[in-house]
Structure 1
Amino acid sequence: MRDILPQIPPVAMPEVIPSELPQQKYHLGEWVRWFQVLNGDFGRVIGVIYTQQASCIATGLHYLILLDERSPSRDTCSCDFAFEEDIEPLDKSSLERFQGNHV
């Protein structure tokens, strides 16, 4: 078995922890979709993390999305992280349309 430790990105605490974190735009359980790509994935928010350029290029909130079983990438992965600027909420009619179009 290969040694996987060299593949894990370094983790480091920021030198200065912000006194206030940004307000989340999306909440646990909310349905969202990636809107900037053709046939974007969609799913439910199941986690939120804040990064500050330790092991991620961008500082800010990142949402862990559990992809819907009909989402285009679900065969490849069940979850994905999204930047707040790359997703938008799905209302009930949009969700029904997406679930119907991605069989």
Structure 2
Amino acid sequence: MQKLRQVLVEHAIATKVTAFEEELKMALPKEVEAAREADCRSYPLYKFVREELGTAMLTGEKVRSPGEEFDKVFTAISQGKVIDPLFACLSGWNGSPVPIC
């Protein structure tokens, strides 16, 4: 009985978490999320890693190892492809300390 109870409670919690995640996705449309990220100084690096390299968030929904995503980034760094996005992060910076996000 205890094992059955534990399984039922875990399932109920997982269901609540999934429903909450869906509510958050609906509350924060992609356009608003992208605009918020675009205001961040490190956005050029984020955009490069997500869009140009095609990495995805590791949410557990897809079968993908962190090593696969890491390899994409490591290869880009090794080939010097990250230099332009890095300089884009620094453009307009006057040398004074600022929050990076």
TM class, shorter-chain normalised? under 0.3
Structure having the higher Rg: 2
Task: Point out the structure with the larger helix share.
Answer: 2
**Greater relative contact order (CA < 8 Å, ≥ 6 in sequence):** 2
Q: TM-score, normalised by structure 2?
A: 0.21
